[in-house]
Amino acid sequence: MTLAELKRGQKGVITDVSSIHIPLKLLEMGCLPGNSVELVQVAPFADPMYLNINGTHLAIRKETAVHIIIETIHE
Amino acid sequence: MSKQINVALIGNPNTGKTSVFNALTGLNQKVGNYPGITVEKKEGICKLPRGVKAHIIDLPGTYSLNASSLDENVVIELLLNKTDKDYPDVAVVVSDVENLKRNLLLFTQIKDLQIPTILVINMSDRMEYKGISLDIPYLEQQLKTKIALISTRKNKGINKLKELIASHKELSVEACLDASIIDTTYFNNLRKAFPHQLLYKLWLVITQDVNFGKTDRKTYDAVEDFKTKSKTDLKRLQQKETIKRYQFINETLKKGQTIDLKSAKDLRIKLDRILTHKVWGYLIFGVILLTIFQAIYDWSSIPMDFIDNSFASLSEWTKDTLPEGAFTNLLAEGIISGLGGVVIFIPQIAFLFLFISILEESGYMSRVVFLMDRIMRRFGLSGKSVVPLISGTACAIPAIMATRNIESWKERLITILVTPFTTCAARLPVYLIIIALVIPEGRVFGLSYQALTLMLLYLIGFGAAVGSAWILNKVLKIKSKSFFVVEMPNYKLPLLKNVALTVLEKTKAFVFGAGKIILAISIVLWFLASYGPGDSFNNAERIVTEQYASDNLTEEELNQKIESHKLEHSFIGIAGHAIEPVIRPLGYDWKIGIAIVSSFAAREVFVGTLATIYSVGSDEEETIKNRMAGEVNPVLGGPLFNFASGISLLLFYAFAMQCMSTLAIVKRETNSWKWPMYQLLIMSGFAYIVALIAYQVLK
């Protein structure tokens, strides 16, 4: 599934990142395969998404999140 | 001569880099610009142990050495150019103990450039709170550096840092990892083609879109036995490089850092639950804005009245004390009155920058960006446009520069074009004086009518910005990749020192910047108002005396008639009368016309100009406001500044593009005269029409 489908409070692991659509800056901030991701908060209409990626807190738009593939983890 | 070394402070945004800079330099700092570009250059002097002096540069915050904005380019350009006079003898990389992993990415890149580097781990006071412990000797060994664990908040570790900078000769210049293993063949070729160059430097030059002067990328492409790669391939390699670096960092931190999650407490989650909430978040933001406006209006009125009165007395005192003559008149009527028009709005600018810097420092501004992005996108803007639009309430110039972190060119261009509609501090003096003249006193729900009018003007400005953005979004046919990343930093209690320095520096820049223009214009205006061509000016006394010979006027009345006759036939009076037909339908007389024309340089000149024009020839100590209230409409009689002409003026200033500095900045940031010219014509044309309608309906 893609990151855009993650629900609030859910956690996952990034498995693939489409490098054409994802800017280098986002990768440098930790959005890389193998790193954990959690949806902290969503704005109205679930966009943008406030994420915790590998300890870095950042917000991205849904249109970017669809290019990040994840697997959810259940605790 | 004492030794002086160059120190560059480098770091991710939100690591407290500026706090470190302030702690090292205190008030020994100055802010300027990099030559030719509008990126802010902060530098200062710091005394180190053993008589060493350090020249410290606070470089713009960046996440890596892969530049994606003008500000970030500055960092790379300096680090790659050994001949630059500011090239650092030592680089100090500032990191935040809670984001060490991400902050170390930049650190490893700088190490690859073989610059002596010190790692500062800031915010160490948060370690216990977050359950973090660090093995400093191990980290120093792995990262091949010296580490200063400091807390700018608690003022700890600064001396250790100074000590480390002073003994910079002992630092290792060895890289901590070998980035070339991402593509060994490619890097080997590179090494062969340019045997005398630093490998990582070559790689950076090849991958950046930056112009490095002599080390231009094209000169590399031209070398025959070396073929560079396609853009996509390079990007893939950059991604590989990033992964490689993170692998190294993860391994290092696995041993060097332990985080006990159980003892970690998190204020962030609790605060975010409210501050980014779908309902409460917006409500709180609204309340904050309302508080700011009410506070600026109410709190600053006391120092402003004081300043207004002081300058009136000073002008009077100068006239009484100095010997009579042209110079005294110039000083009292031109310079002092003109300067009073600048100094008077120091309190408001200071308050505005105070609030803005508190919102930025606390981390709250990022939450506003997050909350507003979706709404702003409907108008072709970005959530990040909120910061320029709010900063625009102080001054459009820094606001337009603040658009640089908007990633999409279309969103950025629209933000630049509409930001001058927001009510900048320079409009305040105009608004305040006119509101005081034409809006009655009185209160509703504890808010004064005058404060509400001001609030309404801010809303009109903001509405005009958003409305025109919506139109521009439909009209502009620009395709640009829109993408949006914003870091959500931890909440922090703003440091008093940082806030105070920001307020001091911004206010100073504003007053001196505007002050120069206003002083020059005041002097020119005074000359134009004090001298005139031909008979009717030079023989004013005789003409007026003859004209009123039968009216039996007292000497004082006669003198007033003479002075106003002189003013009308001075150079400025002639110019004013020439443009009067254009502005008469708006309810203005020729004096207001002069003020509008001269305030094209900068809006705040308006009040100063009126002050200069009205004080020429007046002997009494009077405030600007009283003089304006006493003006009589030459055609209709009654006060010149009445409700209709007042509202018309307010609306004119709300929309008109009356600021040359803003036009210059827009030209620089958009790299063309096309956009500022559109801005000027459309905004001022619209302002004229709205002011015309308002006056004709209300009169």
- Beta-carbon contacts below 8 Å between A and B: 109
* B230 shares its domain with B302: no
B251 inside domain: yes
Same domain as B287, residue B252: no
Give residue for tokens 């930093």: B489
In a domain, B70, yes or no: yes
Task: Specify the pairing of strand A11-17 against strand A68-73.
Answer: antiparallel
B318 and B402 housed in the same domain: yes
User: What are the residues whose beta carbons fall under 8 Å from the beta carbon of B508, sequence distance 6 or more?
Assistant: none
CA B592 to chain CA centroid, Å, is: 29
Residue of A nearest to B105 (CA): A28
CA angle B4/B6/B8 to nearest 5° reads: 150
What is each CA distance from B285 to B269, B292, B396, B447, B677, in whole angstroms? 18, 11, 21, 19, 34
Q: Taking all residues of chain A, what is their mean pLDDT, rounded to a whole number?
A: 89
For residues B234 and B236, give the distance between their C-alpha atoms in angstroms, rounded to a whole number: 5
Q: Is the dihedral of CA B370, B151, B500, B30 positive or negative?
A: negative
pLDDT digits (tens, 9 = 90+) for A15-29: 988 877 788 889 889
DSSP designation for B113 = T
The backbone region for A30, taken as left when phi is positive above 0, alpha when psi lies in -120 to 50, beta otherwise, is: left
Interfacial residues of A (vs B; Cβ cutoff 8 Å): 19-20, 23-30, 32-33, 40-41, 43-45, 47-48, 50, 54-61, 63-64
Q: 3-state DSSP call for residue B32?
A: strand
**Calpha distance B153→B148 (Å, rounded):** 15
Q: Which residues contact B178 (CB under 8 A, 6 or more apart)?
A: none
Burial letters for B80-117: b for 16+ Cβ neighbours within 10 Å, e otherwise? Answer: bbeeeeeebbbbbbbbbbbbbbbbbbbbbbbbbbebbb
> Under an 8 A CB cutoff, do B484 and A60 touch?
yes
Instruction: Kindly state whether residue B504 falls inside one of the protein's structural domains.
Output: no
Q: Indicate yes or no: pTM above 0.80.
A: no
Please answer whether residues B473 and B380 qualify as being in contact, where contact means their C-beta atoms are separated by less than 8 angstroms: yes
The residues near B492 (Cβ < 8 Å, ≥ 6 apart) are B361, B362, B363
| Binary contact (B483, A61; C-beta < 8 A) | yes
Query: Domain containing B560: what range?
Result: 514-698
Answer whether B51's CB lies under 8 Å from B4's CB: no
Contact B68 A45 (CB under 8 A): no
CA distance B323 to B121: 64
Work out whether the CA dihedral B313, B317, B320, B326 comes out positive or negative.
negative
Number of Cα atoms under 13 Å in the Cβ half of residue B79? 36
Strand B146-149 to strand B117-122: parallel, antiparallel, or no bridges (unpaired)? parallel
In a domain, B237, yes or no: yes
- Give the helix, strand, coil percentages of chain B, each rounded to 5: 65, 10, 25
Residue B356 in contact with residue B505, Cβ under 8 Å?
Answer: no
Residue tagged 């070339």 (tokens): B180
> What is the signed CA dihedral for B176, B179, B181, B187, rounded to 10 degrees?
-130
Would residue B292 count as lying in a domain?
yes
Instruction: Give the whole-angstrom CA distance, residue B88 versus residue B90.
Output: 5
B142/B244 same-domain check: yes
Of B238, B483, B488, the CB nearest to A57: B488
DSSP state of B672: S
d(CA B428, CA B314): 23
What does the pLDDT read at residue B214?
A: 46
Quick one: tokens of B21? 């800079």
Which among B63, B80, B64 is positioned nearest to B115, based on CA atoms? B80
Closest CA to B450 of B424, B478, B467, B431: B431
Residue finishing a domain among B475, B504, B538: B475
Quick check: B449 and B439 in contact, CB under 8 A? yes
* Number of domain units in chain B: 3
Amino acid (1-letter code) at residue B233: D
Distance, CA of B540 to CA of B534 (rounded, Å): 10
Q: Per the omega criterion (within 30 degrees of 0), is the bond before A48 cis?
A: yes
**Rg of chain B, C-alpha, whole Å:** 30
- B99 contacts A28? CB cut-off 8 A: no
Of the residues B219, B238, B264, the one at which a domain ends: B264
Across the interface, whether the CB atoms of B374 and A43 are under 8 A apart is answered yes
pLDDT digits (tens, 9 = 90+) for B409-447: 889 999 999 999 998 878 887 888 888 888 888 777 777
Judge whether B296 lies within some domain.
yes
Pair B463, B582 in one domain: no
| pLDDT number for residue B213 | 46
Q: Are B220 and B330 part of one and the same domain?
A: no
Within this chain, do residues B326 and B449 fall inside the same structural domain, yes or no?
yes
Q: In what order do the strands lie in the sheet with B29-33?
A: B29-33, B40-47, B53-58, B4-11, B90-96, B117-122, B146-149
Q: What is the CATH number of the domain that holds B28?
A: 3.40.50.300
Query: Are B284 and B237 in a shared domain?
Result: no
Question: Which pLDDT value is given to residue B1?
Answer: 43
Which string of DSSP letters, residue by residue, matches B528-580? HHH---HHHHHTHHHHHHHHTGGG---HHHHHHHHHHHHHHHSHHHHHHHHHH
Among candidates B47, B52, B115, which has minimal Cα distance to B78?
Answer: B115
Closest CA to B672 of B685, B663, B682, B660: B663
Contact at 8 Å (CB) between B655 and B464? yes
**Whether residues B104 and B233 fall in one domain:** yes
Question: Partners of A49 in the beta sheet?
Answer: A42, A60
Q: Which residues in chain B have Cβ-Cβ distances shorter than 8 Å to A23? A: 68, 407, 483, 485
**The token pair that represents B145 in the structure block:** 């550096």
From A48, A56, A60, residue closest to B102, measured CB to CB: A56
Extract the tokens encoding B282: 């917006």
Q: Could you give the CA distance from residue A23 to residue B588 in angstroms, rounded to a whole number?
A: 54
Q: Give strand pairing partners of B134.
A: B257
Distance spanning both ends of chain A, measured CA to CA: 18
- CA B303, distance to chain mean position in Å, is 24
| Pair (B468, B351) in one structural domain | yes
Local structure of A71: helix, strand or coil: strand
Q: In tens digits, what is the pLDDT along chain A, a chain of 75 residues?
A: 999 999 988 999 999 888 777 888 898 898 988 889 999 988 888 889 999 998 889 999 998 999 999 999 876
Task: Print burial letters for B288-321: b (CB count within 10 Å at least 16), e (below 16).
Answer: ebeebbbebbeebbeebeebbeebbebbbebbee
C-alpha distance from B3 to closest chain A C-alpha (Å): 38
Q: Is residue B101 within 8 Å of B87, Cβ to Cβ?
A: no
Residues of chain B with pLDDT under 70: 1-3, 36-38, 209-228, 263-265, 296-297, 341, 345, 480-482, 514, 518, 601, 612, 615-624, 634-637
- Cα(B587)–Cα(B642) distance, integer angstroms: 9
Identity of residue A27: L
pLDDT at B57: 94
- Computed on alpha carbons and rounded to an integer, the radius of gyration of chain A in Å comes to 11
Count the neighbouring beta carbons within 10 Å of the beta carbon of residue B54.
23
**Based on the domain organization, do B285 and B349 belong to the same domain?**
yes
ipTM confidence = 0.94
- Which residue of chain A comes nearest to B243, CA vs CA? A32
Taking CB atoms and an 8 Å limit, are B242 and A44 in contact across chains?
no
CB B95 within 8 A of CB B104: yes
Q: Taking CA atoms, what residue in A is nearest to B102?
A: A29
Residue B503 and residue B162: Cα distance in Å, rounded?
A: 27
Q: Are residues B631 and B522 in the same domain?
A: yes
AA letter at B141:
Q
Residues of chain A neighbouring B99 (CB-CB closer than 8 A):
55-56
Burial readout B550-585 (b: 16 or more C-beta within 10 A, e: otherwise):
eeeeeeeebebbbbebbbbbbbbbbebeeebeebee
Residue B366 CA to residue B368 CA, distance in Å, equals: 5
Name the residue type at position B638.
G
Site from A19, A25, A28, A54 to mutate, B interface, most B CB atoms within 10 angstroms: A28
pLDDT value at position B349? Answer: 75
> How close does chain B come to A42, measured CA to CA in Å?
8
| CATH class (in words) of the domain with range A3-73 | mainly beta
Which chain B residue has its CA at the smallest distance from A30's CA?
A: B102
pLDDT value of position A23: 83
Cβ contacts of residue A74 below 8 Å, gap of 6+?
Answer: none
